[in-house]
Amino acid sequence: MQTKQQAKVVIIGGGFAGIEAAKKLSKNKNINLTLITKNPFFEYYPALYKLVTGALAIEVCVPYKKIFRNKSVSVIQGQYHSYDNNKKEVSLYDGQTFQYDYLVLAMGSETNYFNIPGIKEFAFSFKSAKEALALKQHFLELLQKSKDVPRDELVNRFHVTVVGGGASGVELAGDITTYLRKMTKRYHIDPRLVTVDLFESNSRVLAMMPEKVSNMAESRLRKLKVNLYTNRTLKAQDLNNITASGMTLSSGTVIWTAGTKISESFEPLILDAKKRVLVNSDFSLPEDKNVFVIGDGAGIQGSGLAQGAIAHGKHVAQNISNLVNDIEAKPFKAKTLGYVVPIGHNWAVFTYKNITISGFIPWLMRSFVDFRYFTTIVSFRYVLEVFRQGAKYRRGEC
Protein backbone atom coordinates (compact mmCIF):
# COMPACT_ATOMS: atom_id res chain seq x y z
CA MET A 1 0.00 0.00 0.00
CA GLN A 2 1.44 3.39 -1.01
CA THR A 3 1.95 5.90 1.81
CA LYS A 4 0.43 9.34 1.22
CA GLN A 5 3.14 11.96 0.67
CA GLN A 6 3.29 14.66 3.33
CA ALA A 7 2.05 18.11 2.35
CA LYS A 8 4.62 20.85 2.86
CA VAL A 9 3.30 23.75 4.95
CA VAL A 10 5.41 26.84 5.61
CA ILE A 11 4.38 29.45 8.20
CA ILE A 12 6.04 32.87 8.14
CA GLY A 13 5.91 34.60 11.52
CA GLY A 14 6.01 33.34 15.10
CA GLY A 15 3.48 35.61 16.80
CA PHE A 16 0.13 34.58 18.26
CA ALA A 17 -1.33 33.58 14.89
CA GLY A 18 1.73 31.70 13.64
CA ILE A 19 2.24 29.79 16.89
CA GLU A 20 -1.41 28.77 17.09
CA ALA A 21 -1.42 27.53 13.49
CA ALA A 22 1.84 25.63 14.03
CA LYS A 23 0.63 23.99 17.25
CA LYS A 24 -2.48 22.66 15.58
CA LEU A 25 -0.84 21.61 12.30
CA SER A 26 1.98 19.81 14.12
CA LYS A 27 -0.57 17.19 15.21
CA ASN A 28 -1.26 16.19 11.61
CA LYS A 29 1.07 13.39 10.51
CA ASN A 30 0.29 14.10 6.86
CA ILE A 31 1.97 17.51 7.11
CA ASN A 32 5.64 18.49 6.94
CA LEU A 33 5.70 21.77 8.86
CA THR A 34 8.24 24.62 8.82
CA LEU A 35 7.95 27.78 10.92
CA ILE A 36 10.16 30.70 9.84
CA THR A 37 10.67 33.53 12.32
CA LYS A 38 13.16 36.39 12.58
CA ASN A 39 13.63 36.02 16.35
CA PRO A 40 14.69 33.02 18.46
CA PHE A 41 11.87 33.67 20.92
CA PHE A 42 8.18 34.55 21.04
CA GLU A 43 7.34 37.95 22.57
CA TYR A 44 4.13 38.16 24.58
CA TYR A 45 3.19 41.64 23.39
CA PRO A 46 0.29 42.31 25.83
CA ALA A 47 2.76 42.22 28.74
CA LEU A 48 5.71 44.11 27.20
CA TYR A 49 4.94 47.17 29.32
CA LYS A 50 5.86 45.09 32.40
CA LEU A 51 9.45 44.85 31.15
CA VAL A 52 9.81 48.59 31.69
CA THR A 53 8.56 48.51 35.26
CA GLY A 54 10.08 45.41 36.79
CA ALA A 55 9.43 42.16 34.94
CA LEU A 56 12.20 39.85 33.79
CA ALA A 57 12.63 39.22 30.07
CA ILE A 58 11.87 35.52 30.60
CA GLU A 59 8.38 36.50 31.80
CA VAL A 60 7.38 37.85 28.38
CA CYS A 61 9.80 36.07 26.02
CA VAL A 62 9.63 32.32 25.39
CA PRO A 63 12.21 30.49 23.21
CA TYR A 64 10.64 28.64 20.30
CA LYS A 65 12.72 25.58 21.20
CA LYS A 66 10.68 25.43 24.43
CA ILE A 67 7.35 25.90 22.66
CA PHE A 68 7.96 23.25 19.99
CA ARG A 69 10.26 20.94 21.94
CA ASN A 70 8.06 17.86 21.56
CA LYS A 71 6.29 18.83 18.34
CA SER A 72 6.93 18.01 14.68
CA VAL A 73 7.89 21.54 13.67
CA SER A 74 11.09 22.65 11.98
CA VAL A 75 11.82 26.16 13.34
CA ILE A 76 14.05 28.28 11.10
CA GLN A 77 15.39 31.66 12.18
CA GLY A 78 15.51 33.99 9.22
CA GLN A 79 14.05 37.06 7.55
CA TYR A 80 11.28 36.43 5.01
CA HIS A 81 11.83 38.06 1.61
CA SER A 82 9.16 36.85 -0.82
CA TYR A 83 7.36 33.87 -2.31
CA ASP A 84 6.96 32.61 -5.87
CA ASN A 85 3.49 31.16 -6.46
CA ASN A 86 4.57 29.50 -9.69
CA LYS A 87 7.47 27.63 -8.12
CA LYS A 88 5.64 27.38 -4.77
CA GLU A 89 8.81 28.55 -3.12
CA VAL A 90 9.58 30.88 -0.19
CA SER A 91 12.79 32.92 -0.20
CA LEU A 92 14.64 34.41 2.78
CA TYR A 93 17.01 37.36 2.70
CA ASP A 94 19.95 35.06 3.46
CA GLY A 95 19.29 33.08 0.27
CA GLN A 96 17.56 30.05 1.79
CA THR A 97 14.53 28.74 -0.07
CA PHE A 98 11.70 26.44 1.03
CA GLN A 99 9.15 24.59 -1.06
CA TYR A 100 5.53 24.61 0.03
CA ASP A 101 2.14 23.21 -0.84
CA TYR A 102 0.44 25.66 1.53
CA LEU A 103 1.88 28.94 2.75
CA VAL A 104 0.70 30.91 5.80
CA LEU A 105 1.79 34.55 6.07
CA ALA A 106 1.60 35.80 9.67
CA MET A 107 4.25 38.53 9.76
CA GLY A 108 2.26 40.84 12.05
CA SER A 109 2.66 44.59 12.26
CA GLU A 110 5.28 47.25 12.88
CA THR A 111 5.45 50.79 14.24
CA ASN A 112 3.86 53.53 12.13
CA TYR A 113 5.21 57.05 12.76
CA PHE A 114 2.88 58.69 10.21
CA ASN A 115 5.84 60.71 8.89
CA ILE A 116 5.65 63.03 11.93
CA PRO A 117 8.94 65.00 12.09
CA GLY A 118 11.28 63.91 14.87
CA ILE A 119 9.28 60.99 16.30
CA LYS A 120 11.38 58.18 14.85
CA GLU A 121 14.61 59.97 15.84
CA PHE A 122 13.75 61.08 19.38
CA ALA A 123 10.85 59.01 20.75
CA PHE A 124 11.01 55.55 22.29
CA SER A 125 8.99 52.98 20.42
CA PHE A 126 7.25 50.07 22.08
CA LYS A 127 6.77 47.16 19.71
CA SER A 128 9.33 44.62 20.94
CA ALA A 129 11.10 43.34 24.04
CA LYS A 130 14.30 45.00 22.83
CA GLU A 131 12.57 48.39 22.70
CA ALA A 132 10.93 47.87 26.10
CA LEU A 133 14.27 46.99 27.68
CA ALA A 134 15.88 50.05 26.07
CA LEU A 135 13.21 52.22 27.72
CA LYS A 136 13.80 50.53 31.07
CA GLN A 137 17.55 51.18 30.77
CA HIS A 138 16.81 54.81 29.87
CA PHE A 139 14.82 55.32 33.09
CA LEU A 140 17.50 53.63 35.20
CA GLU A 141 20.16 55.91 33.74
CA LEU A 142 18.00 58.96 34.46
CA LEU A 143 17.68 57.89 38.08
CA GLN A 144 21.35 57.07 38.48
CA LYS A 145 22.49 60.38 36.99
CA SER A 146 20.14 62.64 38.94
CA LYS A 147 22.24 63.21 42.05
CA ASP A 148 23.00 66.91 42.61
CA VAL A 149 20.95 67.89 39.53
CA PRO A 150 19.04 71.21 39.96
CA ARG A 151 15.33 70.86 40.72
CA ASP A 152 14.14 72.67 37.57
CA GLU A 153 16.17 70.26 35.43
CA LEU A 154 14.74 67.27 37.31
CA VAL A 155 11.22 68.50 36.51
CA ASN A 156 11.96 68.14 32.80
CA ARG A 157 13.99 64.95 33.24
CA PHE A 158 11.10 63.14 34.90
CA HIS A 159 8.42 64.49 32.59
CA VAL A 160 7.20 61.51 30.56
CA THR A 161 4.84 61.78 27.59
CA VAL A 162 3.05 58.67 26.33
CA VAL A 163 1.54 59.19 22.88
CA GLY A 164 -1.40 56.95 22.07
CA GLY A 165 -4.43 56.18 24.22
CA GLY A 166 -5.03 52.65 23.02
CA ALA A 167 -4.61 49.64 25.31
CA SER A 168 -0.78 49.69 25.14
CA GLY A 169 -0.53 53.41 25.92
CA VAL A 170 -3.06 53.26 28.75
CA GLU A 171 -1.41 50.22 30.36
CA LEU A 172 2.05 51.75 30.05
CA ALA A 173 1.04 55.17 31.42
CA GLY A 174 -0.70 53.56 34.39
CA ASP A 175 2.34 51.48 35.27
CA ILE A 176 5.01 54.12 34.63
CA THR A 177 3.48 56.74 36.91
CA THR A 178 3.57 54.34 39.89
CA TYR A 179 6.96 52.91 38.98
CA LEU A 180 8.75 56.25 38.62
CA ARG A 181 7.34 57.64 41.86
CA LYS A 182 8.49 54.53 43.69
CA MET A 183 11.93 54.60 42.07
CA THR A 184 12.52 58.33 42.66
CA LYS A 185 11.93 57.75 46.37
CA ARG A 186 14.49 54.95 46.30
CA TYR A 187 17.02 57.34 44.71
CA HIS A 188 16.17 60.13 47.21
CA ILE A 189 14.43 62.27 44.58
CA ASP A 190 11.17 64.08 45.32
CA PRO A 191 8.46 61.90 43.67
CA ARG A 192 6.33 65.04 43.14
CA LEU A 193 8.72 65.93 40.34
CA VAL A 194 7.38 63.04 38.24
CA THR A 195 4.87 64.02 35.56
CA VAL A 196 3.22 61.54 33.20
CA ASP A 197 1.10 62.81 30.30
CA LEU A 198 -1.01 60.71 27.96
CA PHE A 199 -1.87 62.15 24.53
CA GLU A 200 -4.69 60.75 22.41
CA SER A 201 -5.92 62.07 19.06
CA ASN A 202 -9.49 60.83 19.65
CA SER A 203 -11.96 62.40 22.08
CA ARG A 204 -11.34 59.62 24.63
CA VAL A 205 -8.84 56.90 25.48
CA LEU A 206 -9.61 53.29 24.49
CA ALA A 207 -11.72 54.71 21.68
CA MET A 208 -12.29 51.25 20.16
CA MET A 209 -14.20 50.18 23.30
CA PRO A 210 -17.55 51.35 24.72
CA GLU A 211 -17.61 54.88 26.13
CA LYS A 212 -18.33 53.51 29.61
CA VAL A 213 -14.99 51.68 29.53
CA SER A 214 -13.19 54.85 28.44
CA ASN A 215 -14.74 56.79 31.31
CA MET A 216 -13.62 54.18 33.84
CA ALA A 217 -10.12 54.12 32.38
CA GLU A 218 -9.81 57.90 32.39
CA SER A 219 -11.00 58.10 35.99
CA ARG A 220 -8.43 55.51 37.02
CA LEU A 221 -5.60 57.27 35.15
CA ARG A 222 -6.42 60.59 36.81
CA LYS A 223 -6.41 58.86 40.20
CA LEU A 224 -2.89 57.66 39.37
CA LYS A 225 -1.96 61.29 38.57
CA VAL A 226 -1.69 60.82 34.82
CA ASN A 227 -2.52 63.99 32.87
CA LEU A 228 -4.87 63.30 29.95
CA TYR A 229 -4.79 65.27 26.69
CA THR A 230 -7.51 64.06 24.32
CA ASN A 231 -8.25 65.48 20.87
CA ARG A 232 -4.53 66.20 20.64
CA THR A 233 -2.55 65.02 17.62
CA LEU A 234 1.22 65.06 17.82
CA LYS A 235 2.68 67.28 15.10
CA ALA A 236 6.42 67.21 15.76
CA GLN A 237 9.16 66.42 18.26
CA ASP A 238 12.69 67.63 18.79
CA LEU A 239 15.27 66.75 21.44
CA ASN A 240 13.48 68.61 24.26
CA ASN A 241 9.94 69.46 23.15
CA ILE A 242 6.82 68.09 21.52
CA THR A 243 4.21 70.02 19.53
CA ALA A 244 0.64 68.77 19.58
CA SER A 245 -2.41 70.52 18.14
CA GLY A 246 -1.26 74.06 18.87
CA MET A 247 0.54 73.45 22.16
CA THR A 248 4.23 72.91 22.88
CA LEU A 249 5.51 71.04 25.94
CA SER A 250 8.98 70.15 27.11
CA SER A 251 9.37 66.45 27.93
CA GLY A 252 12.37 64.41 29.01
CA THR A 253 10.97 61.15 27.61
CA VAL A 254 8.46 60.58 24.80
CA ILE A 255 7.07 57.08 24.24
CA TRP A 256 5.27 56.38 20.96
CA THR A 257 2.44 53.81 21.13
CA ALA A 258 0.05 55.61 18.77
CA GLY A 259 0.39 53.79 15.48
CA THR A 260 0.99 50.45 13.83
CA LYS A 261 0.86 49.26 10.26
CA ILE A 262 1.06 45.82 8.74
CA SER A 263 4.53 44.50 7.97
CA GLU A 264 6.16 45.90 4.85
CA SER A 265 6.51 42.30 3.68
CA PHE A 266 2.78 42.34 2.85
CA GLU A 267 3.08 45.31 0.49
CA PRO A 268 3.28 43.31 -2.81
CA LEU A 269 -0.19 41.88 -2.01
CA ILE A 270 -3.55 43.52 -2.69
CA LEU A 271 -4.64 45.67 0.27
CA ASP A 272 -8.16 46.67 1.28
CA ALA A 273 -9.43 50.13 2.30
CA LYS A 274 -8.03 49.66 5.84
CA LYS A 275 -4.56 48.88 4.45
CA ARG A 276 -4.78 45.21 5.36
CA VAL A 277 -4.39 42.30 2.97
CA LEU A 278 -7.52 41.46 1.00
CA VAL A 279 -8.43 37.85 1.80
CA ASN A 280 -11.29 35.45 1.23
CA SER A 281 -13.50 34.36 4.14
CA ASP A 282 -11.19 31.35 4.71
CA PHE A 283 -8.06 33.61 4.88
CA SER A 284 -6.81 32.56 1.44
CA LEU A 285 -5.73 35.12 -1.15
CA PRO A 286 -8.25 35.78 -3.94
CA GLU A 287 -5.49 35.15 -6.49
CA ASP A 288 -3.97 32.07 -4.79
CA LYS A 289 -6.01 29.56 -2.77
CA ASN A 290 -2.85 27.93 -1.36
CA VAL A 291 -1.59 31.08 0.35
CA PHE A 292 -3.23 32.33 3.56
CA VAL A 293 -2.82 35.56 5.53
CA ILE A 294 -3.66 35.60 9.25
CA GLY A 295 -3.11 37.86 12.24
CA ASP A 296 -2.55 41.62 12.06
CA GLY A 297 -2.13 41.62 8.29
CA ALA A 298 -5.44 39.96 7.40
CA GLY A 299 -8.36 42.09 6.27
CA ILE A 300 -10.82 40.17 8.41
CA GLN A 301 -12.44 40.60 11.83
CA GLY A 302 -10.11 40.18 14.82
CA SER A 303 -7.02 41.58 13.12
CA GLY A 304 -4.77 43.60 15.40
CA LEU A 305 -5.79 41.72 18.56
CA ALA A 306 -4.04 38.81 20.26
CA GLN A 307 -7.34 36.94 20.73
CA GLY A 308 -8.20 37.50 17.09
CA ALA A 309 -4.80 36.25 15.93
CA ILE A 310 -5.19 33.07 17.99
CA ALA A 311 -8.62 32.46 16.46
CA HIS A 312 -7.18 33.07 12.97
CA GLY A 313 -4.39 30.58 13.59
CA LYS A 314 -6.75 27.86 14.79
CA HIS A 315 -9.11 28.31 11.87
CA VAL A 316 -6.54 28.35 9.08
CA ALA A 317 -4.79 25.32 10.59
CA GLN A 318 -8.06 23.42 10.52
CA ASN A 319 -8.69 24.52 6.95
CA ILE A 320 -5.26 23.37 5.79
CA SER A 321 -5.72 20.02 7.54
CA ASN A 322 -9.06 19.70 5.75
CA LEU A 323 -7.53 20.56 2.38
CA VAL A 324 -4.76 17.99 2.88
CA ASN A 325 -7.52 15.42 3.46
CA ASP A 326 -9.48 16.66 0.40
CA ILE A 327 -12.11 18.43 2.54
CA GLU A 328 -13.30 21.88 1.51
CA ALA A 329 -12.08 24.88 3.52
CA LYS A 330 -14.68 26.66 5.65
CA PRO A 331 -15.28 30.41 6.09
CA PHE A 332 -14.19 32.08 9.32
CA LYS A 333 -16.91 33.13 11.76
CA ALA A 334 -15.60 35.64 14.26
CA LYS A 335 -16.81 35.54 17.86
CA THR A 336 -17.46 38.53 20.08
CA LEU A 337 -14.28 39.23 22.01
CA GLY A 338 -13.90 40.45 25.58
CA TYR A 339 -11.21 42.90 26.69
CA VAL A 340 -9.29 43.25 29.93
CA VAL A 341 -7.11 46.36 30.29
CA PRO A 342 -4.93 46.57 33.44
CA ILE A 343 -4.18 50.13 34.61
CA GLY A 344 -1.72 50.21 37.48
CA HIS A 345 -1.30 47.53 40.13
CA ASN A 346 -4.33 45.49 41.25
CA TRP A 347 -6.81 47.25 38.94
CA ALA A 348 -8.22 46.55 35.49
CA VAL A 349 -11.36 47.15 33.47
CA PHE A 350 -13.16 44.26 31.76
CA THR A 351 -15.79 44.49 29.05
CA TYR A 352 -17.67 41.82 27.12
CA LYS A 353 -20.89 42.51 25.22
CA ASN A 354 -23.04 44.48 27.71
CA ILE A 355 -20.96 43.58 30.77
CA THR A 356 -18.39 46.04 32.13
CA ILE A 357 -16.67 45.76 35.52
CA SER A 358 -13.54 47.26 37.00
CA GLY A 359 -11.25 46.80 39.98
CA PHE A 360 -9.32 43.92 41.48
CA ILE A 361 -11.39 41.05 40.05
CA PRO A 362 -10.71 42.01 36.39
CA TRP A 363 -7.03 42.44 37.29
CA LEU A 364 -7.02 38.86 38.58
CA MET A 365 -8.81 37.78 35.40
CA ARG A 366 -6.08 39.36 33.27
CA SER A 367 -3.37 37.68 35.35
CA PHE A 368 -5.15 34.35 34.88
CA VAL A 369 -5.51 34.93 31.11
CA ASP A 370 -1.78 35.64 30.80
CA PHE A 371 -0.89 32.60 32.91
CA ARG A 372 -3.34 30.36 31.06
CA TYR A 373 -2.00 31.36 27.66
CA PHE A 374 1.57 30.53 28.62
CA THR A 375 0.47 27.08 29.80
CA THR A 376 -0.96 26.43 26.31
CA ILE A 377 2.44 26.92 24.67
CA VAL A 378 4.89 25.60 27.32
CA SER A 379 4.70 23.24 30.27
CA PHE A 380 2.92 24.21 33.48
CA ARG A 381 6.14 23.55 35.41
CA TYR A 382 8.11 25.93 33.18
CA VAL A 383 5.51 28.69 33.62
CA LEU A 384 5.52 28.29 37.41
CA GLU A 385 9.32 28.54 37.50
CA VAL A 386 9.33 31.66 35.34
CA PHE A 387 6.73 33.37 37.52
CA ARG A 388 8.63 32.30 40.65
CA GLN A 389 11.84 33.82 39.30
CA GLY A 390 9.99 37.01 38.41
CA ALA A 391 8.50 37.36 41.87
CA LYS A 392 11.91 36.69 43.43
CA TYR A 393 13.49 39.38 41.24
CA ARG A 394 10.88 41.99 42.20
CA ARG A 395 11.50 41.23 45.89
CA GLY A 396 15.18 42.01 45.30
CA GLU A 397 16.32 38.46 46.04
CA CYS A 398 18.29 37.98 42.83
CB-facing half-sphere around the CA of 30: CA atoms within 13 A: 13
- CB-based contact 339:304 (threshold 8 Å): no
Which SS3 state, helix, strand or coil, does residue 70 take? coil
Determine the Cα–Cα distance for residues 359 and 352; give it in Å rounded to an integer. 15
- 63 by DSSP, 3-state: which? strand
Question: What integer pLDDT is reported at residue 396 of this predicted model?
Answer: 62
Domain count, the chain: 2
Domain of residue 224: give its range. Answer: 119-259
Coil, helix or strand at residue 334: coil
181 and 268 fall within a common domain: no
Q: At what angle do helices 16-25 and 306-324 cross, to 10 degrees?
A: 30
Q: Look at residue 373 and give its three-state secondary structure.
A: helix
Task: Quote the CA–CA distance of 96 and 115 in Å, as a whole number.
Answer: 34
Same domain? 289 vs 314 = yes
- Choosing from 231, 259, 287, the residue where a domain stops is 259
Residues 138 and 248 in one domain: yes
Question: Whole-angstrom Cα distance, residue 348 to residue 340?
Answer: 7
On whether the CB atoms of residues 232 and 200 are closer than 8 A, the answer is yes
- Average pLDDT per consecutive 10 residues, the chain (398 residues; last block may be shorter): 78 98 96 97 94 90 93 95 97 98 97 94 93 95 93 95 96 96 95 97 96 98 98 91 90 94 95 96 97 97 94 98 95 94 96 96 95 95 90 68
164 and 242 share one domain: yes
Question: Under a CB-based contact definition with an 8 Å cutoff, are residues 64 and 14 in contact?
Answer: yes
Looking at the structure, do residues 254 and 272 belong to the same domain, yes or no? no
The pLDDT assigned to 96 comes to: 98
Domain-located, residue 392: no
CA-to-CA separations, 300 to 24, 102, 287, in angstroms, rounded? 21, 20, 17
- The dihedrals phi and psi of 181, each to the nearest 5 degrees, come to -70, -35
Indicate whether 333 and 279 sit together in one domain. Answer: yes
Any idea what the CATH number is for the domain that residue 130 is in?
A: 3.50.50.60
Does any domain span residue 357? Answer: no
Structural contact between residues 366 and 358, judged by C-beta atoms closer than 8 angstroms: no
- Say whether both 126 and 244 belong to one domain: yes
pTM: 0.94
Give the pLDDT confidence score for residue 397 in this predicted structure: 58
Residue 1 has a pLDDT of 40
Is 194 inside a domain boundary?
A: yes
Report how far residue 62's alpha carbon sits from residue 39's, in angstroms, rounded to the nearest whole number: 11
> Based on the number of CB atoms within 10 Å of its own CB, is 21 exposed (0-12), middle (13-18) or buried (19 or more)?
buried
* Same domain (yes/no): 293, 207: no
105 plus 222 within the same structural domain: no
Provide the pLDDT for residue 12. 98
Last residue of a domain, one of 218, 238, 259: 259
Q: What is the reported pLDDT for 391?
A: 80
Residue 97 lies in a domain: yes
Instruction: Give the C-alpha separation, 45 to 53, whole Å.
Output: 15
Q: Do 244 and 313 lie in a common domain?
A: no
Instruction: Verify that 135 and 206 share a domain, yes or no.
Output: yes
pLDDT at res. 46: 93
327/315 same-domain check:
yes
